[in-house]
Amino acid sequence: MDEMLGAVDVVDPYPLWQSLLEGGPLVSADGAFALLSSHEHCDAVLRSPQFSSDRRNSTRWQAVAAAMSDADRARLERQRSFLFLDPPDHTRLRRLVSKAFTPRTVERLVPLVEDLTAGLLDRAGDPLEVVSQLAYPLPVTVISRMLGVPEEDHVRFAGWSEVLAKSLDDTLSAADAAEIRLRRRAVDDFRAYFTHLCAQRRADPRDDLLTALVEAEDDGDRLSNDELLSTAMLLLIAGHETTVNLIANGTLALLRDERLRDDVAADPACAAGLVEEVLRLDPPVQMTMRIPLEDLDLPGGRVRAGATVVLLLAAAGRDPAQHPDPLRLDVTRTTPHLALSAGPHYCLGAPLARLEGRVALSALAQRLQQPRLGRLEYKENRVLRGPAVLEVMTA
Ligand code: HEM
């Protein structure tokens, strides 16, 4: 089962997801691996306290960790962000930053997101390369401003962020030694970078998230230095390595359908509906995983404590039991999807992702006159899947 997922086609994984959805839940004979693809099953696991997000509970992870030196293991422990923690640590760390991402706070960013989008599109040429000229710079600039990361540093951390975004593919296949070395370097460089920025904020506080985190650390036992660095890295990476795919995948949907372009250009509600449909049909995060804390009966069979349970969010979005006529893109659909997860780890940045998607796709729909697709290449990422290059030619 593991091998089958390791060989996923990044350009079009959907025929495989469809066959897995039709085949129903899968559990390996030894109960060490399971794959769930229906909306109902994925939703239930995401909300269940019997499943952990903490890789330390995974038998597979424990085997990898046992082969490491004590120093390497300790180093990995230090780097854990709250995406990979359970309550109570997860709750404590998430709460420290959640205020910055509420729908109300995010709504105040509308003028910034609109101005940035207009400026990027004004500067873009013909052909427009959507990824490098809009889909990447927009979210990276917004999250950098929220955190207090200087914009000119994007070029410095783009490579580290790319390496760490790719590390989520470990859900599917173990990384090789060279990749692990790259990752270690990326984490060390990122930590050194944020350590330096945090020292600056301590000396010269500003109205940004990094200052808020530094103050929480100084306040006592609410946040350790390792947690501060991991949280800053998580927000910066999650804040753009996902939304870039939403905007690029949304552009592809606009290119396929002239009527959709007209509707989205004319009506902000259609742009918001398109964002939901792109999330459902072509999700930037294709899957996630959970680890059962005890032996449990799943719909496909019994899993053992510590098993790897893969939740195929991209298949759940096409589940006809949840979304009638699932392959039809319908901007008025209201059935909830799981592209932003569910339960305690529900995407913290969901309001921001939706805002950036809506503004970018609406601006694109207004500007693209008789667009034609040029070069299209996909990143080698299976979990955070999306185009690396997406060229659009206009009339
Ligand atoms: C379209 C864009 C995005 C998608 C599809 C997306 C998707 C997701 C998903 C599926 C999860 C949960 C994974 C799990 O349950 O295992 C998640 C968590 C998270 N996302 Fe997003 N995300 C997006 C944008 C953002 C943005 C803009 C931010 C801003 C900082 C962000 C920050 C986070 C954080 C901090 C978590 C961890 C939440 C937790 O563990 O409690 N995301 N996201």
Q: Which amino acid is present at 368?
A: L
Please give the residue range of the domain that contains residue 242.
2-393
128: Cβ below 6 Å to ligand 1?
A: no
Indicate which CATH number applies to the domain containing 291.
1.10.630.10
DSSP 8-state secondary structure symbol assigned to residue 102: S
Residue 369 CA, ligand 1 centroid: distance in Å: 33
- Which atom in ligand 1 lies closest to the alpha carbon of residue 90? 41
Supply the DSSP symbol for 150: -
Q: Is 70 exceeded by the pLDDT of residue 95?
A: yes
Amino acid at 227: E
Nearest ligand 1 atom to the CA of 352 is 27
- Dihedral (CA of 81, 350, 207, 241) sign: positive
Q: Is the CB of 275 under 6 A from ligand 1?
A: no
pLDDT tens-digit readout, 73-84: 887 777 889 999
Helix H or strand E segment including 393: strand 387-393
Q: Would the pLDDT of 1 be above 70?
A: no
When pLDDT is averaged across residues 322-345 and rounded to a whole number, the result is: 98
Q: What is the pTM assigned to this prediction?
A: 0.96
The tokens describing 99, both together, are 């205020």
328/167: higher pLDDT: 328
Ligand 1: does its nearest atom lie under 6 Å from the Cβ of 341? Answer: yes
At 268 the pLDDT is 94
Nearest CA residue ID for atom 9, ligand 1? 340
Domain count, the chain: 1
- Ligand 1 midpoint to CA 114 (Å): 22
pLDDT of residue 149: 96
Spatial strand order of the sheet with 372-378 comes to 128-129, 387-393, 372-378
Q: Which helix (H) or strand (E) holds 373?
A: strand 372-378
Average pLDDT over residues 340-353: 98
The pick from 210, 348, 355 for probing ligand 1's pocket by mutation, whose C-beta has the most ligand atoms within 8 angstroms, reads 348
Q: Whose CA is nearest to atom 3 of ligand 1?
A: 242
Say how many Å lie between the CA of residue 340 and the centre of ligand 1: 6
